[in-house]
Structure 1
Amino acid sequence: MKKTVTTLADGRELIYYDAGDGEARGGYPDRRPLEPAHRNAQTRFDELQGEWVAIAAHRQDRTYKPPADQCPLCPSTEDRLTEIPAPDYEVAVFENRFPSLGGPDGGRCEVVAFTSDHDKSFADLSEDEVALVLEAWADRTGELLARPDVTQVYCFENRGEEIGVTLSHPHGQIYAFPYVAPKMDRAVSRAAAHRARTGRNLFDDMVEREAADERVIEQNEHWIAFTPYAARWPYEAHLYPKRRVADFTELDDAQRAAFAPIYLSLLRRFDGLFPAADGGPGRTPYISAWHQAPKRAPGAQTEVALHAEIFTVRRAPGKLKYLAGAESGMGAFASDTTPESAAIALRGAGR
């Protein structure tokens, strides 16, 4: 992998990742007359819930559903200058121009452009392209965790307008939190309690239990995907490496080589749930959320397991799963499907 680090006109960092020793893409300067980047986000603590909240009022002005010919994630041309100055790229990562984190309280938000092809989706990538994205995730995880103002690194992808995506170009984001996010904080506590009670790892026990159940969607020698026993969303899948690791940086060569086929297959199964009008695969809206062990949380590095939680807000053709009063107001989920039936549907939806 070749990594090229450069700087955008407003001082933000831009990193190109290439599979081979190709062109030095950093030779293309950012020619836009940009104002200095926003770095005024705040974090505030909710004492009642025991959770941190990011305050980022400048995000009201972020780019919102631009037409394809004005996409800020496409490569730059002579007539159109974008966030990526090079005329082509494989994977590009840059600091978000409208970050939720990164003010005086620390943290950082990055955008990961998976491909220069505006019309692709992650599921359309080749296995080699996915392998390069994985290398970028691992590299960013290692570098961000090394920062003193970062506690947890969260890589994720939102796809589809129903999810709230405002840029249709295939991309994801990385949030480098200066604190432990609420969901991870609960997982760390549960894992510690399980270790104290049983002497075993909670994630290992759960994966072993799920591997013997009817909710397994697919697996290979190094990875397993299943619908969890207490799934919150109508269609939800979790993907784990069979050998527990704390984050992307700890994956060995065999795990990395086996990743792309199963991850692509899983995303394509989600697309197969709701076919397009012409009978072909659809573009199911989803969130793919990668959980990694945080720093400075007692026991987290040895107890928390890297894994993805993938889910869609679509519960049936033309119908969305809205978070109603109990779910939005109390965090008390009620699923519209059984996890067992969702696993059957996902097993049958591959392409």
Structure 2
Amino acid sequence: MTRITSTNLADGRELLYFDDAGTAPRSAASLVDCRELPGRGEPGELRFDALSGDWVAVAAHRQGRTHLPPADQCPICPTTAANPSEIPAPDYDVVVFENRFPSLGPALGGVPDSAPHGTAVPAYGRCEVVSFTPKHTGSFSELGETRARTVIEAWAQRTEALSALPGIKQVFPFENRGAEIGVTLHHPHGQIYAYPYVTPRAAVLGSAARKYYDDADGTDTLTASLLRAEREDGSRMVLEGEHFSAYVPFSARWPLEVHLVPHRRVPDLAALTGGERDELAHVYLDLLRRFDALYPTPTPYISAWHQAPLDSLLRPAGHLHLQLTSPRRAADKLKFLAGSEAAMGAFINDTTPESVAERLRAVAAVPAPALEGTRA
């Protein structure tokens, strides 16, 4: 079993070590942050956009956050005498900690569902960083299955814990990979946002899911029905397992887009069984490696885990799924969101979903050099 150890950084932020199964107990010294840090500031603002009904985070304090530091100054590498980092231990497997420059939080609370123009409230919520490995270079796709399984355990544990916090309406684990996506750290890592509202995209998906669920008298979900249709058609399927299957959606928006869906209806990662989590470690790595096998250089992507919102109306119809997308449309070309997409939300895809699925089926997943640490 993954071992979880909690501690606090010098400014009070929570940090959790998730150690691979079978590793030695963590030393007491790895729990002590010896840095002198200033106290945590107040949260930024959430401003209500009366035109759309959306909340927009205003987080000017993030302008000073770390941006693409050299390896010897990386804030999520293990601590050394020359680099006292965010992670006090000299080595680790997987670490989750509160972001020092959060878009949301550290204060917690609720926000109204709607408000008049000019309304601003504290940016309640929680933003966490998930470091996948102590190694500064590489990517998630280079992890071994043991380490990937530990990351999944971290996502599941944090989903459950964050969902229980006051005011939280949605928990979103994700990874931005590649400079083309806009990452600010080269070190392989992801993030988890816990929002005090249902995000605009989740609200749209949730509304469609709830309508389908109601029309089916609560016996089926929209996500499950789409998976069945794709498996029956077969032309856009990428892989099929015992517990999970992946396909390129019929109406894919992005040049590269794959949806990974559990066969069993579950609202979130925390609800997966041990066997489902084991298979997820395998198939998720397989997908990422297929993305990287398409071109001579690593493929930038956004890995977005869509979990059911913590909303009494939307949650019953929710069905966990991953949306893995990339703006890469050729070896040397990226898709940029211009007028139609950025202003109108009307996507135009430069590839066909069927041809993308065929290419992803054809490429062999690249074997990983195992980006694990060396802790015994």
* Equivalent residues of 1:5, 1:26 under 8 A apart: no
Cα distance between partner residues in 1 of 2:24 and 2:316: 38
Residue of structure 1 in register with 2:337 after alignment? 323
Look up the match of 1:269: 290
Alpha-carbon displacement from aligned partner over 1:261-306 (angstroms, at most 9, x marks no partner): 111010001001111xxxxxx31100000010111241x3321111
2:264 is equivalent to residue 243 of structure 1: yes
**Separation in structure 2 between the aligned mates of residue 17 and residue 39 of structure 1, nearest angstrom:** 29
Q: How far apart in 2 are the matches of 1:122 and 1:244?
A: 26
Structural mapping, 1:195-234, within 5 Å: 195-199=213-217, 200-213=220-233, 214-234=235-255
Give the secondary-structure state (helix, strand or coil) at the position aligned to 1:212.
Answer: helix
If the length of structure 2 is used for normalisation, what is the TM-score?
A: 0.89
Between the aligned partners of 2:308 and 2:41, the Cα distance in structure 1 is 28
Q: Specify the alignment match of 1:2 in structure 2.
A: 3
Indicate whether 1:86 and 2:89 are aligned. Answer: yes
Determine if contact 1:4/1:25 at 8 Å carries over to the other structure: no
| C-alpha distance in structure 1 between counterparts of 2:6 and 2:205, whole Å | 35
Q: Matched residues in 1 for 2:315 and 2:239: separation?
A: 27
1:173-206 deviations in Å (ceiling 9; x for gaps): 0000011011111111111212233434211211
State the one-letter code of the partner of 1:80: N
Number of equivalenced pairs = 344
| CA distance in 1: counterparts of 2:252 and 2:299, whole angstroms | 18
Q: In structure 2, what is the Cα distance between the partners aligned to 1:160 and 1:177?
A: 24
Written as runs of structure 1 = structure 2, the 5 A alignment for 1:151-230 is 151-199=169-217, 200-213=220-233, 214-230=235-251
Whole-angstrom distance in 2 between the partners of 1:295 and 1:167: 30
- The answer to whether the Cα contact below 8 Å between 1:16 and 1:91 also exists between their aligned partners in 2 is yes
The Cα RMSD (Å) is 1.3
Contact persistence 2:43–2:123 (CA under 8 A)? no
Shift of 1:134: 0.5
Aligned residues of 1:16 and 1:25 also touching (Cα < 8 A): no
* Equivalent residue number for residue 13 of structure 1: 14
Q: Are the aligned partners of 1:154 and 1:289 in contact in 2 as well (CA < 8 Å)? A: yes
Number of the residue aligned with 2:322: 308
Report the alpha carbon displacement of residue 105 of structure 1 after superposing the two structures with TM.
4.2
Tell me the distance in 2 between the aligned counterparts of 1:238 and 1:10: 39
Q: Which deviates more, 131-140 or 43-52?
A: 43-52
Q: Is the 8 A contact 1:188 1:297 kept in 2?
A: no
| Percentage of pairs with the same residue | 52
Shift of 1:25: 4.6
Flag structure 1 segments of 5+ consecutive residues without an equivalent.
Answer: 276-281
Pick aligned residue for 1:24 from 15, 23, 26: 26
- Are residue 256 (structure 1) and residue 277 (structure 2) matched? yes
Aligned to 1:54: 57
Greater relative contact order (CA < 8 Å, ≥ 6 in sequence): 2
Please state how far the C-alpha of 1:219 moved relative to its aligned partner.
Answer: 1.3
User: In the aligned structure 2, how far is the partner of 1:271 from the partner of 1:246?
Assistant: 29
Which one is further off, 20-29 or 250-259?
20-29
Code of the residue aligned with 2:200 in structure 1: it is P
- SS of the counterpart of 2:215? helix
Classify 1:210/1:61 alpha carbon distance in 2 versus 1 (closer, same or farther; 3 Å): same
SS of structure 1 residue aligned to 2:305: strand
In structure 2, what is the equivalent of residue 143 of structure 1? 161
Question: Is residue 141–residue 289 contact of structure 2 (8 Å, CA) maintained in 1?
Answer: yes
Aligned equivalents of 1:35 and 1:318: distance in 2? Answer: 44
1:2 shift after superposition: 1.1
Contact 1:238–1:308 under 8 Å retained in 2: yes
1:277-316 to 2 correspondences below 5 Å: 282-298=297-313, 300-316=314-330
Give the corresponding residue for 1:337.
351
1:71–1:303 Cα change, 3 Å: same
Aligned equivalents of 1:115 and 1:57: distance in 2?
30
SS of alignment partner, residue 225 of structure 2: helix
What residue identity is the alignment partner of 2:16?
I
| 1:38–1:98 CA contact under 8 A, matched in 2 | no
Q: What SS is found at the alignment partner of 2:153?
A: helix
Mapped to 2, the partners of 1:203 and 1:241 lie a distance apart of 10
> Does the 8 A contact of 2:237 with 2:248 survive in 1?
yes
Q: What code does the residue aligned with 1:218 have? A: L
Gaps of 5+ in 2: 108-121, 366-376
Q: How does 1:31-50 map to 2 (within 5 A)?
A: 31-50=34-53
Distance 1:264 1:160 in 2: 17
- Contact conserved, 2:221 with 2:319, CA < 8 A, in 1? no
Q: Distance in 1 between matches of 2:317 and 2:29?
A: 43
**In structure 1, how many angstroms separate the alpha carbons of the residues matched to 2:275 and 2:83?**
41
Matches of 2:61 and 2:364 in 1, distance apart?
41
| Deviation, structure 1 residue 345 | 1.4
The TM-score with structure 1 as length reference comes to 0.95
State the one-letter code of the partner of 2:81: E
Q: Which residue of 2 is the match for residue 64 of structure 1?
A: 67
| 1:25–1:347 distance in 2 versus 1, CA, 3 Å | farther
Residue 91 (structure 1) shift? 0.4
